[in-house]
Amino acid sequence: MADAKVIPFDEDRERPRRAPRRGRPGGRRDGREASAPVSVVAPEVPEEEPTGPGEPAAAAGGGAGAAEGWDRRIASGLAFLRRRLTGEYEVDEFGYDKELTDQVLMSLLRPLYDGYFRVEVKGVENIPAEGGALIVANHSGTLPLDGLMLQVAVHDRHPAQRHLRLLAADLVFMLPVVNELARKAGHTLACAEDAQRLLEAGELVGVMPEGFKGIGKPFGERYKLQRFGRGGFVSTALRAGTPIVPCSIVGAEEIYPMIGNAKTLARLFGLPYFPVTPTFPWLGPLGAVPLPTKWTIQFGEPIPTDGYPPEAAEDPMLMFNLTDQVREQIQHTLYKLLVQRRSVFF
């Protein structure tokens, strides 16, 4: 693997504007041709009539109503498979596949979210019900599971079931399989241009400014925020006029306690770090199983940006102050959640 480099979120890169594409699975923005989809509406299945508590079907444990429910699920599943096989589904210009994300990827992550990490969400009402917003969160855990759990939290706990579009480092898009799944889940490259386009389109965008400095920090520095860069995410929010929602995640730091970094192996494999934990690499694949910690995700009060003039995005002092405000709010909330936590696992 070639040496991966982290593209700082605050560095605007000149990228050619492209018209939105629609395409088959794997539709990407890297120049590959994608075929236009044909919108297909799944066959409508009559909704199941509610069964009263005293009716025989309910008394029998479901009966005909349960059978109709299974029929509906099977019909929906078959329609989904047909669209997958024929390519009759839509992806946006970034490769985001909403249907696949909702029906497959989210379903695969929910057992980890609900049963394994038992994620508790606070302050979800601080996320706007509509329109663009930038969610800024701390980053940790050796592997970026916190971003995935954040994505499920926003979708499943928000009343509007909003989708979070995460900004990721270029290493994510260099890995086979991971690249395609990330695109389909709505992730895109962490550059200011893509973030601004998504925000202006009314999307929720998630960014973790610590990057590899946060996710690869040693266990002894857990819950101590690393540098947030030069405020590129603030500049993007100012240009789009969208609020910034600070987000604090507790629990991810302990899933892979990183007690060492094999730098030679990291250079060999082209990775930003090669983690050494109490179980990895000593136990082989078993060492990659995360510890079942208890997570809490809290969304803070949004910081508005629409009251600033257009030229504010070029004011370095303003960007520094807003960046520091976001960072301090996240750090303060982390400390508060840690004080309230009874145990790492409960």
Higher per-residue pLDDT: 212 or 10: 212
Q: Is the pLDDT of residue 30 over 90?
A: no
Q: Is the pLDDT of residue 282 over 50?
A: yes
CB atoms within 10 A of CB 173: 20
Cβ atoms of 110 and 157 closer than 8 Å = no
Q: Among 62-76, 138-152, 185-199, whose mean pLDDT is lowest?
A: 62-76
Mean pLDDT of 68-97: 85
Domains and CATH numbers, the chain: 98-255+290-340 (3.40.1130.10)
CA dist 110 and 45 (Å) reads 26
Q: Is the pLDDT of residue 319 over 80?
A: yes
Q: Which amino acid is at 139?
A: H
Residue with tokens 């395609």: 180
pTM of the predicted model as reported, rounded to 2 decimal places: 0.79
Q: Concatenate the DSSP letters of all residues of 159-199 into one string.
A: TT-PPEEEEE-TTGGGSTTHHHHHHHTT-EE--HHHHHHHH
Confidence of residue 75 (pLDDT cuts 50, 70, 90): confident
pLDDT tens-digit readout, 172-186: 999 999 999 999 999
Q: Concatenate the DSSP letters of all residues of 19-60 into one string.
A: -----STT--SSS---PPP---PPPP-PPPPP--TTSHHHHT
What is the number of alpha carbons within 13 Å of residue 24 lying toward its C-beta?
7
The whole-number pLDDT of residue 275 equals 95
Residue with tokens 């250079």: 267
DSSP assignment letter at 204: E
Residues whose CB is less than 8 angstroms from the CB of residue 222 and which lie 6 or more positions away in sequence, other chains included:
140, 253, 254
Q: Is the pLDDT of residue 84 over 90?
A: no
Task: Give me the sign of the Cα torsion angle 107, 113, 118, 119.
Answer: negative
Helix (H) or strand (E) holding 250: strand 244-250
Q: Report the DSSP pairing between strands 164-168 and 188-189.
A: parallel
CA dist 185 and 163 (Å) reads 9
CA dist 56 and 117 (Å) reads 39
Cβ atoms of 130 and 199 closer than 8 Å = no
Q: First-to-last CA distance in the chain? A: 39
Q: What is the arrangement of strands in the sheet containing 204-207, beginning at the earlier edge strand?
A: 120-122, 296-299, 244-250, 133-137, 204-207, 164-168, 188-189
Cβ atoms of 75 and 45 closer than 8 Å = yes
Q: Is the pLDDT of residue 339 over 90?
A: yes
Confidence of residue 272 (pLDDT cuts 50, 70, 90): very high
The whole-number pLDDT of residue 54 equals 40
The whole-number pLDDT of residue 64 equals 67
CB atoms within 10 A of CB 219: 17
